Amino acid sequence: MDNNNYNRIVFRLCCIALIVTSMTFAIRAGILGQLGSEFGLTDTELGWVNAMAFLGFPVATMVGGIIYNAIGAKKLVALAFICHLLGLVLTITADGFWGLLVSTFLIGFANGAVEAGCNPLIAEMYPKNTTTMLNRFHVWFPGGIVIGALASNFMSGAGLNWQWQVALILVPTVIYGAMLIKAQFPRFDTRTHSTSSNIRHLFTPLYIFLIACMTFTATTEFGT
């Protein structure tokens, strides 16, 4: 099998992982009210649970950006798979606020790890048509939102509880996890980008400003 075929397989794997990412947003939004009713959560507690998805995402993208060159894209996407699997299973088996809090953070972290691993990988696999391939990759985010929203609406109408809706996301999760086992990720020259330079970039004024804004927003919206 030539490199082009390997790249196509890895690209499809990335697209399925992104579908999982967007399905978690769509389905969790659809079941949030059910979670509140079943576990007797207040609006504030629901807000904190929902916020964990948006906290885990930037944490993973920042950490993933730092360690990408050190561990490689395959291990970073594998980390996303592990966190997706754990987060979804813990959500299904959650028995209250803290279980939902931890599981939602893991899912958010997995979503961010997918972005941190797949975006630079695709850019390096397709240096001559990077924009086209990244656009093809990212079209699956709204695609997954539509798939998740329609599935959630259909399953709710059919009387299936929220656990079944979350379990549905395990299907594409297992698919991209199985693809990871045999997928041969391309190797790139790491001399052009180093882990130390990635760390230095985190301390640029723009990053510091964004972190400050994120912290202020989280404190304002969900602080007590």
pLDDT tens for 116-134 read 999 999 999 998 999 999 9
Confidence of residue 224 (pLDDT cuts 50, 70, 90): very low
pLDDT of residue 5: 78
204 or 106, which is more confident: 106
The predicted model gives 12-25 an average pLDDT of 96
Picking from 156, 167, 170, 160, the residue whose alpha carbon sits closest to that of residue 30 is: 156
Would the CA dihedral through 166, 168, 171, 176 be positive or negative?
negative
CA distance linking residue 118 with residue 120, whole number of Å: 6
pLDDT of residue 105 exceeding 90 = yes
The predicted model gives 102-111 an average pLDDT of 95
Picking from 16, 13, 4, 12, the residue whose alpha carbon sits closest to that of residue 170 is: 16
Share of the chain above pLDDT 90, in %: 50
Arch. (CATH architecture) of 3-195: Up-down Bundle (1.20)
- pTM of the complete model: 0.85
pLDDT of residue 208: 66
